[in-house]
Amino acid sequence: MYSIGLTGGIGSGKTQVADWLAQWGAAVIDTDRIAHELTAPGGSAIEPLRQAFGPAAILPDGRLDRDWMRDRVFADPEMRRRLESILHPLIGQAVQAQAARAQGPYRVFVVPLLVESGRWRDRVDRICVVDCDPETQIRRVQARSGLTREAIGRIMSAQSSREDRLAAADDVIVNDGVTDLAALRERSWHCHQTWCQLASRSPDGPATHD
């Protein structure tokens, strides 16, 4: 099935773009949402995380304390590797299961660290980057999360640079500080139409799962 890898730095707007693509019929598989489900109360990652990091990592309601974990993994590379060794295999299994069930003109894999992982270039037909300048990223993340500039900077430093993401892109959807939602939607719609045409011409064609 024709596949798009959708990525962008934190605060770039890739989730909004992915939501529109899903509304227009694409099969969207969002690794960040999968991670949230795995670390929600009763999620399959909760007990392995509790065993690896202790009860302090889990909130009273049974979900992962993401703030607690974020503060530690960005300061301790070994702790980050331990976290990834638990989450990545579970995310991979869920991605495979969702991809096998996907229906629509094409699939979209939403992967925040797509460029950084180095594993996606051969798994998708095209990479699309939702792009904006770093200052806009910081303002957006502050507005929605209340994180400090320092905390946001640590997250951004763990991601590929803007230049590296753009170098890996086949398609770019600009979502800078001046772009309003209508303009962003129009740019996303243009990409959607292009990908539908490319998918219809690919050897596999659109998915026809029952």
Which residues belong to CATH 3.40.50.300 in the chain?
A: 1-26+105-210
Which of the following CATH numbers is that of domain 1-26+105-210: 3.40.50.300, 3.40.50.2300, 3.30.420.40, 3.40.1710.10? 3.40.50.300
pLDDT tens per residue across span 94-144: 999 999 999 999 999 999 989 988 888 899 999 999 999 999 999 999 888
Give strand ranges (E) for 2-53: 3-7, 27-30
The rounded percent of the chain whose pLDDT value lies above 70 is: 96
pLDDT tens per residue across span 136-194: 999 999 888 888 888 888 888 888 889 999 999 999 999 987 668 899 999 999 999 99
Q: How confident is the model at residue 210 (pLDDT cuts 50, 70, 90)?
A: very low
Residue 113's alpha-carbon distances to 6, 25, 40, 159, 205, in angstroms, are 10, 24, 21, 7, 28
User: Do residues 38 and 94 touch, judged by C-beta distance below 8 A?
Assistant: yes
